[in-house]
Structure 1
Amino acid sequence: MKDFKLNRLIISTLALGCAWGFTSCSNDEPSPIPGIVTTESMFGNYTGSLSILSVAPGISALTDESGEPEGTTATATIDNDTIYFKDFPIKDLVMAVVGDETTADQIVAAVGPVNYNVGYEPALTPAQDSIYFDMKPEPLQLTLTLPAAAESEEAASMNIQVNIVGAEGASYEVATSALNFQLGADEVSLGTGEDLQPLPGFNPLTLNFEMNKSKE
């Protein structure tokens, strides 16, 4: 009988010790490990601004009344190592060509929303706090329908091609979800069909994007 009581005491003690041990272990567990950072961490929807800067010698940047670069709202989606613009902001580019805001507004309305995609090659920093990416843009193609001079004539189409180049230093900051990159417009060509001629006197521009990823 004494042996039976002793065995029960030992079992109870062991059970209490195990329970205490489990409680202690659960309290000592480390905090959950954050998600692993990869180059896919920059995938998502973005909203921000596009400001146009001139890079031609002797030409000042386009600014507002406060002296700051003019900004246009810009939105984009990043997925599969590609920046997708469903409505690329072209007004400032058109302004650089025609030099008149009223005419630029009419052209933008006639062209309509412009889809433009920019592929890139990403690289994660050793510290895994930023992603740098090398952009591979294609020329921006626009088509403008010109009204016929007379009712008996057919409307003509003018093709506008903007040569786009990617600037160095494009980056995504993991902690802030901030995306910063620049695209250069170094030449504009106009024409009908495949017969395009460079626009004389066009001053190269830099398109500066400052965007932030939307919270899911």
Structure 2
Amino acid sequence: MKRLKVLKSLVVAMIVFLGLSLTSCNNDRYEPVAVKLSDVNGNYKARLITSQGGKFNEKLIDFVAKDTIITFKDFPVREIVKTVVTDPVKADTALAHIAKIEYKLNYKSKLNVDQNVVELTFEPKTLVFQIPVDGVTKNAVVKMVAKQKGFFVGYDWSVRFGLEAEKITVDGVDLTPYQTIKYDIPISVKN
């Protein structure tokens, strides 16, 4: 009989303890850290998805956001070169001889407190570089556009945006026919 009372007392004590421990969970709510415009600044490693027509390519790239400029130290130009130089062997040879191409993307930022994001409105510049083919250097001018805003997301501290190579001009002549090349960065991680 004495053992039964002790056992009942232990069970009641455990139920009370569990009840009290679960009530403390009611106050655990996610409180997001409010973003500031300066939070965009930093070094990022990003997943880049490049698409043209039905072809997709995915790779990791790095970029730096500082003040109002995103800088790519090595902008991916593989699809552009393969569009200009249609022979795959010559295109690969040209890519091997092209140095890293730096591209700077200007943006304006605006704080969206309700969504806890910084909205990025881009002002792309043309991308200009040279492509060596069969001993001749071709001057490529690529008109870059951003049709949508980008975002710095406060939830995971990432930057998300997209660009398009809308038109390519080689030695003053527009490439025709031409399929737009899209550069999408659906997620990036701040280093």
- Aligning the two structures, in what range does the TM-score lie when normalised by the shorter sequence? 0.7 to 0.9
8 A Cα contact 2:128 2:141, kept in partner: yes
Higher strand share: 2
CA distance in 1, matches of 2:66, 2:157: 15
CA distance in 1, matches of 2:59, 2:186: 11
Give the Å deviation of 1:212. Answer: 2.2
CA distance in 2, matches of 1:138, 1:108: 22
Mapping of residues 145-160 of structure 1, within 5 Å: 145-148=132-135, 156-160=136-140
8 A Cα contact 1:178 1:210, kept in partner: no
Measured at CA, do residues 38 and 128 of structure 1 come closer, stay the same or move farther in structure 2, by a change above 3 Å? farther
Please say if 1:161 is aligned against 2:141.
yes
CA distance in 2, matches of 1:183, 1:98: 22
Please say if 1:127 is aligned against 2:114.
yes
Gaps of 5+ in 1: 1-33, 64-69, 149-155
Q: CA RMSD in A?
A: 2.2
Question: Match of 1:82?
Answer: 69
Please say if 1:204 is aligned against 2:180.
yes
Give the Å deviation of 1:176. Answer: 0.4
Q: TM-score, normalised by structure 2?
A: 0.75
Question: Match of 2:154?
Answer: 174
8 A Cα contact 2:146 2:164, kept in partner: yes
Question: Match of 2:16?
Answer: none
Question: Match of 1:190?
Answer: 170
Question: SS of 1:106's equivalent?
Answer: helix
Question: Match of 2:46?
Answer: 48
Measured at CA, do residues 146 and 107 of structure 1 come closer, stay the same or move farther in structure 2, by a change above 3 Å? closer
Give the Å deviation of 1:101. Answer: 4.3
Give the Å deviation of 1:96. Answer: 3.0
Give the Å deviation of 1:211. Answer: 3.7
Instruction: Give per-residue Cα distances to partners, 1:99-143, cap 9 Å, x unaligned.
Output: 454433222221210000000011110236111111001111011
Q: TM-score, normalised by structure 1?
A: 0.67
Give the Å deviation of 1:167. Answer: 2.1
8 A Cα contact 1:138 1:163, kept in partner: yes
CA distance in 2, matches of 1:99, 1:72: 22
Question: Match of 1:20?
Answer: none
Paired residue total: 161
CA distance in 1, matches of 2:169, 2:162: 21
Question: Match of 2:24?
Answer: none
CA distance in 1, matches of 2:190, 2:120: 20
> Of residues 118, 133, 152 in structure 1, which corresponds to 2:105?
118
Measured at CA, do residues 84 and 167 of structure 1 come closer, stay the same or move farther in structure 2, by a change above 3 Å? same
8 A Cα contact 1:44 1:213, kept in partner: no
Amino acid at match of 2:184: N
Measured at CA, do residues 51 and 36 of structure 1 come closer, stay the same or move farther in structure 2, by a change above 3 Å? closer
Amino acid at match of 1:45: N
Question: SS of 1:168's equivalent?
Answer: coil
8 A Cα contact 2:34 2:116, kept in partner: no
